[in-house]
Structure 1
C-alpha cells in the first residue's frame, strides 16, 4: 500500500475522489499544509488512525495513517496553491499548454453556445 501511495497519479485520483464529497471522514489523509500548527506537524491525522471511507478496493480494508515522514515530500505540496503556482511558473512549456487548453475550452464553449442559438 505504501508503494501505491507514492505514485503521483494514485494520489491525485484519491484527491479528486475525496473532493467529490461534502464531508469526508478521511480528510486528514490528504492534509492541508500546516498554517496555524508548527512546521513539523503536517497532517491533521495522527499516525495509526484508521481512515474510514478511504478504501478503494472491493475486498480491501480502510488504510491506516502513516507518520508524516513516511509520505513523500511532494504530497504536502499537492493542495498548496502557491507551491503549484511556483512549480507551473518554473516550467514555461507546461504553463503555455495550460493556457492554451483553457483558451481552447472557452472557444469550444462559445462555439457550442452559438450552435444552440440557431
Structure 2
C-alpha cells in the first residue's frame, strides 16, 4: 500500500502558479495481464461434491443447528408436529374482506385479526391527520 502511494506521489506535478495536479493511475503488481480465457475470480475452482450421505440428507435438516455443540435436528413424521404448524402459510383475509363480513359469524381468530387491523388503520389515520395540522 505504501509502495503504491509513493509511486503515485512521484507522478504528481506541482506548479507554483494555479495549482494543477496531474496523476497517473498505478496498478497492482502482476503486470495486469490475465491468463488467456479467464474472466477474473478464482480460475479452475470447481464445486466439490457433497460428502454427506443420501441417508443423512433425507433424515436431518442440514444447517438448522443454532447451538455451538448441538447437532442438526432430525426430520419427524408429519403426525408428530403440532396442527398449527400446517396452517402458518394459509392466506389470511384482508381488513376490507373482514369489514364486509358479519361480525357475529366470524370465528374468534378472524375477529381478533379484525380488531388488530382495524386499530392499526385508525391509528394510522389519526397520525396522518395530526401530521397535516
Q: TM-score, normalised by structure 1?
A: 0.39
* Greater RCO, CA 8 A, separation 6+: 1
